[in-house]
Amino acid sequence: GEDVEQSLFLSVREGDSSVINCTYTDSSSTYLYWYKQEPGAGLQLLTYIFSNMDMKQDQRLTVLLNKKDKHLSLRIADTQTGDSAIYFCAEGANSNSGYALNFGKGTSLLVTP
């Protein structure tokens, strides 16, 4: 995870938009991912974007990719208290065993009423 950087904490008010940012270093990454982890639970795939795309929108989620700057962001519109969780950015990268995911440390999102 040391090659994928995220801010550790974000607090927003319910109803506002949240923007979580991520930078990665592997320019050969073909896919970039956003996962959500609720307390004590595993990871839920929220969305992913192919590296030749600039933007992907899925309901309240918008992913922006700036491949030149190796910057990825996740925007959550109309953030709800149920969106409070840790959000992990991940890049698809080649490891000893082939294609695997390299995660950032996660951004804790706190949504206040």
With CB under 8 A as the contact rule, the residue among 10, 47, 48, 71 that binds another protein is 48
Q: How far is the CB of 101 from another protein (least distance, A)?
A: 6
Q: Who's near 19: CB < 8 A, 6+ residues apart?
A: 73, 74, 75, 76
Residues 59-98 that bind another protein (CB under 8 A): 88, 92, 95-98
CB nearer to another protein: pick between 76 and 92: 92
The amino acid that residue 31 corresponds to is: Y
Q: How far is the CB of 16 from another protein (least distance, A)?
A: 25
Contact 10, 93 (CB under 8 A): no
Q: Does 103 bind another protein (CB under 8 A)?
A: yes
Contact 43, 36 (CB under 8 A): yes
Contact 34, 46 (CB under 8 A): yes
Question: For binding to another protein (CB under 8 A), which residues are involved?
Answer: 1, 4, 30-31, 35, 40-45, 48, 88, 92, 95-106
